[in-house]
Amino acid sequence: MEKILIVEDEPDMVMGLKDNLEFEGYEVDIAMDGEEGLSRMLTLKYDLVLLDVMLPKLSGFDVCKKARKNKVPTPIIFLSAKGEELDKVIGLESGADDYITKPFSLRELSARIKAVIRRSTTQFSGNDADQVVIGKLKVDFNNYTAYEGSEPIKLSLKEHEILHHLWRNKNRTVSRDNLLDSVWGYDFQPTTRTIDNFILKLRQKIEENTDNPALILTVHGVGYKLVMG
Ligand code: CA
């Protein structure tokens, strides 16, 4: 049975969501403030977290950021009220998977939940998901190999990890901070300039034209986006 954590401080909302999700066959856990939500995410395993943005003690954004810094991979859907900064919610900075704006229909929420859980289970398992064609290269993220045609192309460990992270988030903007956290962890961090240099090297290996990249795009002031059809 898939297990969902609801982090929400409005009791009516909590009860409504809990009843409906249980009716749909999910196991449901509840946290009424940000700190409790984070501690549950760090200690228990969930298939999905529904995370309210405005919470007592710790905001939803902070819960999400801290969870990601601690390598919690659980997919997160933000529950946001109208007028909150949706650009942030989408996860440019915080690392969420989706968001839904209150008031929402339960049918819409249910569809989002299914989509996000499906996406995360295909991402974290299945071998075919680890072998992908990116531009000129065929990359095997499992075995750390890359080929252009039959020619092996050497990618460093970090180049592999950066490319893998961009690929997992393909067609979405990944901030430099998010790359730093995901690839280097938060104990040791190189400068953002280092990231730019790695990106340049990756472009030289996968792009047809390094001066005019079509795959790894720069999102000015934010980070990078791997564009794939
Ligand atoms: Ca709230």
145-197 confidence digits (pLDDT tens): 888 888 888 888 788 889 999 998 999 999 988 888 788 765 566 777 888 88
**Residue-level pLDDT at 92:** 47
**Residue-level pLDDT at 188:** 60
**Between vectors from CA 29 to CA 26 and to CA 31, what angle results, nearest 5°?**
145
Contact between 42 and 18 under an 8 Å Cβ cutoff? The reply is no
**Residue-level pLDDT at 81:** 81
CA of residue 63 to ligand 1 center, whole Å: 13
Residue 88 to residues 11, 20, 62, 70, 139: CA-CA distances in angstroms? 25, 28, 11, 20, 31
CA of residue 46 to ligand 1 center, whole Å: 21
In order of their start, the domains of the chain are: 3-122 (3.40.50.2300), 132-226 (1.10.10.10)
3-state helix, strand, coil in the chain (%, to 5): 40, 20, 35
CA separation for the pair 4, 74 (Å, rounded): 10
For the chain, the first-to-last Cα distance in angstroms comes to 33
CA of residue 118 to ligand 1 center, whole Å: 27
**Residue-level pLDDT at 130:** 61
Strand partners, 101: 80
- Enumerate residue ranges in the chain where pLDDT < 70: 83-93, 121-130, 185-189
Contact between 220 and 128 under an 8 Å Cβ cutoff? The reply is no
